[in-house]
Structure formats: C-alpha cells, structure tokens
Structure 1
Amino acid sequence: MAESGDEWQVARRRKRAAGASKILQAGSAQRSFQEPLDISKTLQRIRDTVSELRCEEFWPQWKEKILVATSSALWSPPKDNISDGRPQLECVCYGLGPFSSSMSARYQLAMLLLLLDAAQISLKNCCVYDPVFTSGEREVLTELGVTVLTENEEGKRLATRPTLFYLMHCGKALYNNLLWKNWSVQCLPRLSVIGNSFSSMRDRATEREFSRDYSYITQAVSVCDEVELSCPSRWIDVFSDTAVITFPPDGLGSLPQCTWAEPPEPQYRHCPDLEIIQRGTELREEVN
C-alpha cells in the first residue's frame, strides 16, 4: 500500500467532513486542466484495490454487520418493488472525491464495489455523483458499470424503493438534505445509510446551532439505529467514524405526528462554511 506523502495528506483532509468538500471544490478547476486520465491504468488500480480490501481482516466483519443491519430495509420491500421474486435494490453514492488522485477516495470506491457485490445490488442500479469528478473519472465509473449522475442533487433524492446511500465523509448538509427529502414514516424505512455517525456529528457540535442548522439529523438521532463499523488504525484516515444507519418503523412512531407535517426545506442561512458543494457552485469554479 505504498503511496506518496501527498496522497496521504489528501486522505487526512478527507477525514474531516467539514473541510473536505471545500478543498476539493477549490481544486476542481485546476484538475480539469490535468493531463488526460489513463482509463485502463486507473481501472486496473481500482480492481487491485478491491482485491486488497477483500483480503483485509476487517472486511468480513463489515460485510456481516452491514448485511444484518440493512436486512429489514433492503430485503423486506413492498410487494410492488419485487420483480421475479427479487427486490429491486438501489444504491446512491455522493461525495466520493477524486479517486484518480486521492488514495482515500480510491479505497472508498473499492469498498463501495465490495458492498454492491455483497448486497447483490446491480452495478447499473448504483448512481454515483461528485461535482469534482473529471471527465476521465466519469468515464472510468461508466466503464465499471455504475450510473454516473449528471445533476448535483445536493442529496435531495427521494427513495421510492429500498436504497443504500453510501456517503463516506460527506458534509452534514448532505445527510440533512437526504433526510428532509424522505421525511415521512413511509420513506425513511427504505433508507440504509453508510457514512458518518449521526450521534458523532451531534456530539462534536454545539447543541443549539446543530439543532437549528441540521434539524432533521437532530430528530433522526433519537429514532435511528446505528451500528459502528470499526477498522484498524492504519485505515482510520479512509474509514473513520463510519456507521450503518437505518430507520426502523417502530422508532419513527415515537415521534409526534406534527413532526411529519409539511417539513420545511433546509436553507442553511447561518452556515457560512457549508460542507457541501451546492448546485451551480461547481460551474462557477470551472469558469474561473
């Protein structure tokens, strides 16, 4: 796993969700002028990384915990989501990062591919998006077989069927937006999230500001189930603070009915250092 010191610096920055998107956003224009990506070489590096992760001791533990934690949400869908006796599972990945230049992002992509195989989710049913992707990286993802989204959804995607959301080291606003879009007792149980622990987000923030700016995460903490995914110390920069988050219907029923009435869309007026790249911002960066 020998890599340059520069790549490890990128990995350490991705460990901090608060700064990752801003760093990548600032560098997106510069990356667009880099030499064309060697597609074949990049694909081989990714496949080698998948093979490496598959041999790691923590992978079987992650696999078991994830499949057990998501079994209800992913494998017990409504009857209208079943075709030929099998559920039509989906996966959405946001904020992966520049995997052609960042070792951390590449290992997170490799983990995503392992999870898709373990959960029996078709590659074509996995949608991937990050505004920092170069055209070469989008081509690599297409060659891998996943679906590359063309629009920055800001996490505001409605889960119409059982969906695994892979949001490694993403900003709080992305999680908050996802919860808002699915804020109902019908939709939330369809979600399984692999990403930053909600309780850790809350514990690291000022309670008053966190409740004001990220109200949906604040409410979800008390009703979601979190399963910690621990890893060896040498993988902390890549997979730190990761959990499987699900939303059992029984827990959602404990919230007052008024909780679900016309939930307002998040605005983030008090967040000058928002941790996500908002729609349109990536275009201005490339023009500049």
Structure 2
Amino acid sequence: MAAVDEWETAAPRRRRSGARRPRARAVAAAAAGSPEAGLEADPGVVLRRLREAEGDLLLSDFWSSALDTVNRCLTKHREQLEAPVGSLSGALGRLHLAESAVAPGSAPADAVAPGACQLKCVCYGLGSFATCVVARNQLAFLLLLLEKCQIPRSHCWVYDPLFSPLEIAVLNRLGVAVLSENEEGKRSVAGEPTLFYMVHCGTALYNNLLWRNWSVDALSKMLIIGNSFTGLQERLLTRTLQKSYSYIAKVLKGLEELEFAQTAQYVDTFNDTAVHWFPVQKLQQLSTEVWTFREEPEYQDCEDLEIIRKERRKSPQPLS
C-alpha cells in the first residue's frame, strides 16, 4: 500500500513547468502494474476510501480555501446570469450560492443559500480513482462540491476512458451519470449554466470544449475548474498555443480566473488548478474575427496531445 501511494505522489504536476507525460497514461501504467490493483475488487472498499478522503478534505485548510474560491466565481457568474447585460436580455437562470464575504456572526463561510440550483456539472479525466490516491481525492472534492452547490448527483455527468468496470459500478452507486461515449470534451452547454470539472486534463480537452461552445452566449454560461489557462499560456510557446490550441489562445482576454491556494497536503492533487468564468463584457470586447473562425480542431501535427481520442470508424471501401 505504501509503495503504491509513493508512486502516485512521485510525479506531481509542477507549476509553470514544461510538457509532461499525460497523467492519464501514468495512472494507467501504475494501475496495470500495481499489486494494489488486484485488491480493489470490492466496490465497498473503494467507497470506504472515498468517504475517508472526503473526511480528510473537510478537515483540511485547503477545502475551506478552495470552496471560497469557487464561491467567489460562482457568485459573479450568478450575478451575470441574473442581469440583463448585452445580448443576454432578461434573466437566464439563478444559481443559489452564498456570497463569498460573510458578516461576523452570520452563516459559516462554506454555507450555500437554500433553494434549487439549476447549475449542472460535467466531469472529465478523473483517472483510475480505485487505485490512485490523487484521482480519489479529486473525486472526493467533486462529491463535496456537488453537495455544497446543491447540484443533484443525477445532474453530474462523468467520463474517463480509463474507468474500469469496478469504477463505473462505484460511480453508479454514488448516483452520478456515467457517459458511455468519449466526447473528447466536445460537449455543448445547450443553453444551461454548466460547471466543468477537469482537473489536470490534457490541453486539447479544454480547447475542444471552448470550440464546441464558441459564442458569447454559450461561454457566458460556463465555468471551468481545471488547469490554469494563464499557466498554459506561460508554459507553451506562443506559436504552439495559437496553432494547436487556438481557442484557448483567443479566449485568454475574455475570461477571469482564480487559482486555488496551495497546501502541502494536496499539492499533487490540485496544483496549477484554477476556476475560470467568462464575463460577458470581456467576451463582447473580442474582435468579430475571433468569433467568425469556428473550424473544428484536428491536432494532426500536434505532439504529446495528452488526451485519449475516441476510435474513428473507417469509411467502407467502395466495391471494385
């Protein structure tokens, strides 16, 4: 057990570092050769470890700090949806979340306002949480976040091509919806406020998500918890960002992000993680040319893509 945990924390995501081996591949390699992999055959064991991870998170300084960061972005996002700004005429929805600033003697900082919440959630790239401590902590954070934001688990969709049948069974027990198809991040918000939880995912996944929702209306309904876009800009060569991940490059001036504060306990789990949202005023300031180009990303000449792509069906050969 100790040996497995040591491997899982041996290669953390370094802030502002160069390209690395994708976490998904590293986790897969570890799980395949790990003596622990054969011991995780009982969903009850995985669920118990998840509960322990949730308990540890709740007692940590990181949880209260991260929740405050999320709440600050969600509060601004809620106000944007409620206000008749620009092309968003009328109220587009209500997110019942507490203000980040709480007066002395009032409700605790992690409280949320009562009432139904229309926010939906999509989670990509958790990895093998049955055998990987980092992935398990990320799932525990997601479950706690759903509870605090009053998002029903049935309104949370999750996917990772690495999920084993055991992990899918655990997720089904938890009540979240497991997607059956690899969407490669190309999921539309379909007019509904949506939180995307994508910690330590490949850059192409974020780029695909932006492409699929490339309009002021759609982006203004999105929030993303994932790799800092500012960090991506600093790590990648400008020509690489503009050529391979053009939608990230174009949206940098149209977003706001707040990074998670770091603690030693969760530095491997949430380093370089930020909450992103897209103010309408900033999006509307982008040039017309930015919105006109909407070509689907291909990544044909992109090295170290860091995502697992879905299988393409071969076109039937014509009969000779």
TM-score of the pair, normalised by structure 2: 0.80
8 A contact 1:13–1:20 mirrored in 2? no
- Residue equivalent to 1:206: 237
- Aligned-partner Cα distance in 2 for 1:14–1:113: 23
1:16-75 residue CA offsets vs partner (Å, 9 max, x unmatched): 7642133345678779x9567201111111011111101101211211110111224357
- Aligned-partner Cα distance in 1 for 2:45–2:7: 23
**Bigger shift: 14-23 or 65-74?**
14-23
- Residue equivalent to 1:216: 247
Which ranges of structure 1 fall in alignment gaps of 5 or more residues? 282-288
8 A contact 2:154–2:175 mirrored in 1? yes
Cα RMSD over matched residues? Answer: 2.4
- Aligned-partner Cα distance in 2 for 1:25–1:278: 15
Cα displacement (A) at 1:205: 1.1
- Residue equivalent to 1:69: 73
Q: SS at the partner of 2:186?
A: coil
How do 1:98-177 residues align onto structure 2 when only pairs under 5 Å count? 98-160=128-190, 161-177=192-208
8 A contact 1:223–1:247 mirrored in 2? yes
Query: Which of residues 21, 26, 50 is equivalent to 1:23?
Result: 26
- Residue equivalent to 2:64: 60
Who wins on radius of gyration, i.e. which is larger? 2
8 A contact 1:10–1:102 mirrored in 2? yes
- Residue equivalent to 1:37: 41
1:195-223 residue CA offsets vs partner (Å, 9 max, x unmatched): 11001011011111121100111111121
Is 1:49 the counterpart of 2:79? The answer is no
TM-score of the pair, normalised by structure 1: 0.88
- Aligned-partner Cα distance in 2 for 1:74–1:142: 30
Q: Which has the higher helix share?
A: 1
8 A contact 2:117–2:151 mirrored in 1? no
8 A contact 1:184–1:260 mirrored in 2? yes
Number of aligned pairs? 277
- Residue equivalent to 1:6: 4
Cα displacement (A) at 1:231: 1.9
8 A contact 1:165–1:193 mirrored in 2? yes
- Residue equivalent to 1:286: none
Tell me: higher relative CO, structure 1 or 2? Use CA pairs within 8 A at least 6 residues apart.
Answer: 1
Change (3 A) 1:210 1:91: same
Amino acid at match of 2:181: E
